[in-house]
Amino acid sequence: MSKEMLEAFRILEEEKHIDKKDIIEAVEESLKSAYKRRYGQAESCVVEFDEKTGDFQVYTVREVVEEVFDSRLEISLEDALAISSAYEIGDKIRFAESVAEFGRVAAQSAKQTIMEKMRRQMREVTFNEYKEREGEIMTGTVERFDQRFIYVNLGTLEAQLSHQDQIPGETFKSHDRIEVYVYKVENNPKGVNVFVSRSHPQFIKRIMEQEIPEVFDGTVEIMSVSREAGDRTKIAVRSHNPNVDAIGTIVGRGGSNIKKVTSKFHPKRIDPKTGAALPMEENIDVIQWVDDPAEFIYNAIAPAEVDMVLFDDEDPKRATVVVPDSKLSLAIGRRGQNVRLAAHLTGYRIDIKSASEYDEMEAQREEFLAAEAKNAESEPSEPVLDGTE
């Protein structure tokens, strides 16, 4: 120990980001642990560190007593007076121990403790680094594959890209450079896990922030995104500048901005006739966001026309959308995709009804109310008792 110890502490602190206090505590605990293994107890052990010399000193503290029962904890008054005539019963006397007697065991223990602290500290540094990137896009390199994940090297660790977080039909090979959205970062005893996605709705939002200046600077705001990756996405937008058209800005001249975004994806589909892999584009519908929920739902059902939007008095997040009979299949969409995306986009549970279905429901309701009223009129009234005979 000495100056070499101080230099080692400095290196660990500067290069491995381990606080010197943590290292000193680790060594002190290791010395106490080694002392206990050698003498069977550590209650009387005191460890001190000299900041100037870098030396650790171990002391045994013994109490002055009349009769000694444990020589590691006590010293007789007679022996204490031989050291100094000032000692009295109950005083505590410190005796320096030779660190060399158990220093090798302590050094090994300290090394293990410091290494564990270093691993925890590095894990914490890594966790904090990636936690700050949660909700952002990062660029990485495809490293390897297994049955569960594609592992993407982000620089200091491998992120996990699961099957559900991949765009259907999209394929990669080792060493491909890809962009991924960091949606969850976990810190656990085995290490830091970073989960990334290319199918996440926010992935498209972040791509648009990169590719469209008006979105990046906040002139046009993306209010919500609903996505079925590789197939179709709905995006609700609004402009904070009355002179800037939100939808036109997102689409771009001749669809240029949308093409920039979709060029970031390269899913493929297999042609059933030829068996060849054909590129396909993810369709992006851009919707005008408005404060009025009825108008917002009306916009979200596009491209289908809407006759009316009705809200449930008992469930404020449920809405019935009435559409012309000829537009029912368009409003619902293939396998219910259009209404499903509209529901996710608006945050409402949406029931689609054709105009004829709605008229029939209304007619049945009116018949029911009329029957109820008729029954109420035909019921005999109760006699009124006034208390006289």
- Residues 274-284 have a mean pLDDT of 83
- pTM of the predicted model, to two decimals? 0.71
pLDDT attached to residue 287: 95
Write phi, then psi, for 181 (nearest 5 degrees): -100, 125
- Per CATH, 3-128 and 133-197 having the same topology is answered no
- Residues 7-36 have a mean pLDDT of 76
Residues 6+ apart with CB under 8 A from 22: 117, 121
Q: Which fold has domain 3-128?
A: N Utilization Substance Protein A; Chain:P; domain 4 (3.30.1480)
pLDDT exceeding 70 applies to what percent of the chain? 89
pLDDT attached to residue 103: 63
Confidence of residue 319 (pLDDT cuts 50, 70, 90): very high
Give the 3-state secondary structure of residue 271.
coil
Distance CA(312)–CA(319), nearest Å, equals: 6
CATH code for residues 207-289: 3.30.300.20
CATH code for residues 133-197: 2.40.50.140
* Contact call for residues 192 and 160 (beta carbons, < 8 A): no
* Contact call for residues 141 and 176 (beta carbons, < 8 A): yes
* Contact call for residues 139 and 177 (beta carbons, < 8 A): yes
pLDDT attached to residue 107: 67
Give the residue from 167, 165, 160 showing the smallest Cα distance to 145: 160
Looking at the domain covering 292-377, what would its CATH class be? alpha beta
pLDDT attached to residue 310: 93
Write phi, then psi, for 258 (nearest 5 degrees): -60, -40
Output DSSP code: residue 324. -
pLDDT attached to residue 223: 97
pLDDT exceeding 90 applies to what percent of the chain? 53
User: How do 308-311 and 318-323 pair as beta strands?
Assistant: antiparallel
The region of weakest confidence among 123-127, 222-226, 248-252, 335-339 is 123-127
The region of weakest confidence among 100-109, 242-251, 324-333 is 100-109
- Residues 224-229 have a mean pLDDT of 96
Comparison of pLDDT for 59 and 344, the residue scoring more: 344
pLDDT attached to residue 183: 97
Structure confidence by residue, pLDDT tens digits, 141-164? 999 999 899 999 999 899 999 999
Output DSSP code: residue 268. E
Confidence of residue 1 (pLDDT cuts 50, 70, 90): very low
CA 185, 210, 265, 234 torsion-angle sign: positive
- Residues 329-354 have a mean pLDDT of 95
- Residues 334-345 have a mean pLDDT of 95
* Residue found by looking up tokens 């090798």 in the block: 104
Query: Residue 180: how many CB atoms within 10 A of its CB?
Result: 25
Confidence of residue 106 (pLDDT cuts 50, 70, 90): low
pLDDT attached to residue 47: 86
Confidence check: pLDDT of 240 > 80? yes
pLDDT attached to residue 379: 64
- Residues 45-74 have a mean pLDDT of 85
Confidence check: pLDDT of 11 > 80? no
CA 190, 191, 192, 194 torsion-angle sign: negative
Confidence of residue 28 (pLDDT cuts 50, 70, 90): confident
Give the residue from 331, 387, 380, 388 showing the smallest Cα distance to 357: 331
Domain range annotation of the chain: 3-128, 133-197, 207-289, 292-377
Confidence check: pLDDT of 387 > 60? no
Task: Using only the alpha carbons of the chain, give its radius of gyration.
Answer: 37
Confidence of residue 381 (pLDDT cuts 50, 70, 90): low
The region of weakest confidence among 60-64, 110-114, 122-126, 329-333 is 110-114
Confidence check: pLDDT of 386 > 70? no
